[in-house]
Structure 1
Amino acid sequence: MSKMIFVNLPVADLAASIQFYQALGFVKNPQFSDDTAACMVWSDSIFVMLLTHAKWQTFTKRPIPAKSSSEVMLALNCANKAAVDQLCTAASGAGGTADVNPKQDLGFMYGRSALDLDGHIWEFFWMDPAAVQG
């Protein structure tokens, strides 16, 4: 079995969050979704589980961070700079906030960030494959 990641996120409004992530290009997997959770697929190995606050609290008793705080920054690689820009535009158009952190353009790497509806930070970046190879 290949390695995969399932990012679990608490969300205040499941239906609105599903629409937000679909606007970014995620696909809802109905097999692992119900009225308390939605499995949103980015790739064959990257999944985001959107969980209502009540569902989230069945996994942990730790408090849900305030929308204005940050615990993690989730980064997704993109095929090119235009794809980075498209994702930030889509996030903003779907009710999120684009460019909550300064844009980064280092020549070999380009990145922008966006907040989802619940304040989770997503970084979208492109890196020149030649730079990765050294």
Structure 2
Amino acid sequence: MGNSVYINIPIENLERSKKFFGALGWKSVPEFSDDNAACMAISEHTYIMLLTKDFFPTFTDKAIADTKSSVAALYCIAVDSKEEVDSYVEKALHNGATEGKEFPNRGEPDMYFRSVYDPDGHGWEFIYMPEHSPSHPG
């Protein structure tokens, strides 16, 4: 079994965030969810932990970044096709996201990027890189 990744993000509204990420096709993991947090499976070994802003400080002594006006991190998900990139972005936009920065072609003609900001302002990038896609590890 490989390593698993859990991305912990602070959110304003637990139900809204569960609905938003569920609309992207990410599955709820009830055994790691309660009134303060929800675990969503992105893939077999990658999860997002949605932690309410009241609960998130129990994990850190640092202030929570205001992701509506500044960036704390950008989360990039590699997918298997350009169509899958577009599908994720369109689902996100339909469910309350805003379009992110447009990526210029950086000299990699086969790469395809798009990004969104979720309803809490967290940045999500979706990328297709044929030679490095999840089903074609390079």
Q: Distance in 2 between matches of 1:27 and 1:121?
A: 20
| Contact 1:76/1:124, CA 8 A, preserved across alignment | yes
What TM-score does the superposition give when structure 2 sets the normalisation length? Answer: 0.89
Whether the 8 Å CA contact 1:84–1:126 is kept in 2: the answer is yes
Q: Which residue of 1 aligns with 2:77?
A: 76
Question: Deviation string for 1:115-134 (max 9, x for gaps)?
Answer: 11111100000001279888
Q: Deviations over 1:44-93 (max 9, x none)?
A: 11000000011101111211111211021110011100100111111110
Which residue number corresponds to residue 111 of structure 1? Answer: 113
Aligned residues: CA RMSD: 1.9
CA contact (8 A) 2:26 2:41 kept: yes
User: 4+ residue runs of structure 1 moved beyond 3 angstroms?
Assistant: 103-106, 130-134
Give, in whole Å, the separation in 2 of the partners of 1:86 and 1:34: 29
Note if contact 1:104-1:112 (Cα within 8 Å) is conserved in structure 2.
no
- Percent of residue pairs identical: 37
The aligned residue for residue 42 of structure 1 is 42
Q: Is 1:104–1:110's contact at 8 Å kept on the other side of the alignment?
A: no
Whether the 8 Å contact between 2:80 and 2:130 is mirrored in structure 1 is no
* Whole-angstrom CA distance in 2 between matches of 1:11 and 1:20: 12
| Secondary structure class of the residue paired with 2:59 | coil
Structure 1: 5+ residue stretches without partners: none
Question: TM-score, normalised to structure 1's length?
Answer: 0.92
Distance 1:85 1:104, change over 3 A: farther
Q: How does 1:57-76 map to 2 (within 5 A)?
A: 57-66=57-66, 67-76=68-77
Matching residue of 1:11: 11
Aligned letter for 1:96? Answer: A
Distance in 2 separating the partners of 1:69 and 1:14: 21
1:107 positional shift: 2.0
> Which moved further from structure 2: 78-87 or 60-69?
60-69
Deviations 1:16-42 (A, max 9, x none): 000000011110000100010000001
Aligned length: 133
